[in-house]
Amino acid sequence: MRSFRFAGVVRKYFHPYTLVRDSGGTWVKGKWVPSPAERVQRSGSIQPVSARLRATEGGDYTETDRMLYTTAIHATGERIEYLGVQYTVAESPDREYSDVNQYLLRKVVANAPI
């Protein structure tokens, strides 16, 4: 399959964001004490989800959802912080033909139902 190299073109639009990883914790005197989260700097372009995509998917996407374009690799469920707002990686489609990865980010809401 032919591979396209878009990283050089979109890199000028990249901005820093933070990957927040839970680093577990330890048991201290029978109580679980969580360790502080590990924060890793990455760069990418975070854009709003287009209105056309929100409409065609039957309203599954909201105005707070974002698309992330980056050369880094993320797994579904990872937390990303950008401009003080935390998001979770909801979808990570396979893009074998490009060196730029695309991810759907959903805003983390404190009182959202599980």
For 12-21, the pLDDT digits (tens) are 778 899 999 8
* Among the listed residues 111, 49, 114, 46, the one whose alpha carbon sits nearest the alpha carbon of residue 81: 46
- pLDDT, tens digit, 9 for 90 and up, residues 60-90: 777 788 889 888 888 888 999 999 899 999 8
CB neighbourhood size of 66 (10 A): 20
Domains, the chain, ranges and CATH?
7-107 (2.40.10.270)
The radius of gyration computed from the CA coordinates of the chain, to the nearest angstrom, equals: 17
pTM: 0.74
